[in-house]
Structures are given as structure tokens and as C-alpha cells.
Amino acid sequence: MSSEYPINLSLNKMLFQSKQKKMKLPLIVFMVGLLTLASCAKEEKKDVVDSCSKGSGTFSSTSGTTLNLSKQDWYLTRNDIGGGNISVGLSGTTNGDSLTILTRGDGFFYDYKIPLNSKKQFNKDITISFTANSVPSGSLTESTNILVFKGSDTLRVALESCPLSYE
């Protein structure tokens, strides 16, 4: 047999051929299950520290691209190492082909694509910014932009939170 698959053969020998190592397969299955449970626990929504809701609104470009926001709920959460997240829950409709929202954290910027259903509706909680191991003191406001794309037209909608605080 060629040495084309040395890793698979080594894994096979390690797991199945040695009497001393027969218990490794159940142990590996147990560890994978334990890691899966641990990762699910980390994804649970943290307790909200502060929150606010902004009114709904309709925005449109001169070319007719529209965004209708029916929900804009801003909230703060803390992470496990002393930092925090500023998030917004958005829902609404658009006549655009796609939506993106600007997010950032610890110096990195990213355009997050907001999923649309077949009726061009959306409902999504998005972390707009985060800090890894500290949170700002006092009152803060966060802002971001939603971009709505329809053909060659782009509608930019600026969003700003109400004043929020980690204290």
C-alpha cells in the first residue's frame, strides 16, 4: 500500500488496533460531546446591562430604494473577561437586493450582510462593536450605517443608539 494516507492509517492504528488504546474511542467521543456543550453554553445570550429602543422609520433614496425599520433595540452586554458588546436588534423590510451593516471591535471593521427572507423582511440581532477586556465608563452612544443595495443604487442610513451605560 502506498503512503498516500499515512495520517488515516496512523489514526486507525491508534484507535482500533492496540488493546491498551481501545478506550480512546469512547474518550474521544466523550470529549467531543463535552466541547460541543461548552461551546453552546458560551453562545447563550448574556444578561443585558442596559438597553433602549428607538422609534421606527422609513428611509429612501432619490432613486426609490427604501428601508423600513420597525424595530431598533440597542443593548449592552458584558463578556467573560471584563469587556463588553454593544448590539442592536433590527427588524423591518426593504425593496433592496441586499443589506449590510458596519460592525467593529478592537480596531477591526467589517460589513455584516443582514439576511433577507423571500418577502425582503429581516429580523436580526447584531453586535455593532465590542471591547475585549474593558468597558467605557459613563454614558455612551454608538452609531453605525446600514447600506441598502438595489441594482446600482445604494442607500446609506445612519443609526445612533440612545445613551447607554455599563454602570
Please give the mean pLDDT across all residues of the chain.
Answer: 79
For residue 155, pLDDT over 50 is answered with yes
pTM of the predicted structure, to 2 decimals: 0.69
Residue 7 confidence (pLDDT) = 45
pLDDT over 50 (residue 21):
no
Q: Which three cell numbers stand for residue 124?
A: 436580526
Domains of the chain by start residue, with CATH: 6-42 (no CATH), 48-165 (2.60.40)
Residues 6+ apart with CB under 8 A from 163: 52, 139, 140, 141
Measured in Å, how far apart are the chain's first and last C-alpha atoms? 66
Residue 130 confidence (pLDDT): 81
* Residue 106 reports pLDDT greater than 70: no
> Is 5's pLDDT higher than 90?
no
Helical H segments across the chain, by residue range: 6-12, 24-42
Residue range 48-94, pLDDT digits in tens: 888 999 988 999 999 999 999 999 999 999 888 888 889 999 999 99
Query: What pLDDT was estimated at residue 29?
Result: 54
Beta-carbon contacts of 117 under 8 Å, excluding residues fewer than 6 positions away, are none
Mean pLDDT of 97-121: 88
Taking a C-beta distance cutoff of 8 angstroms, is the pair 87, 126 a contact? yes
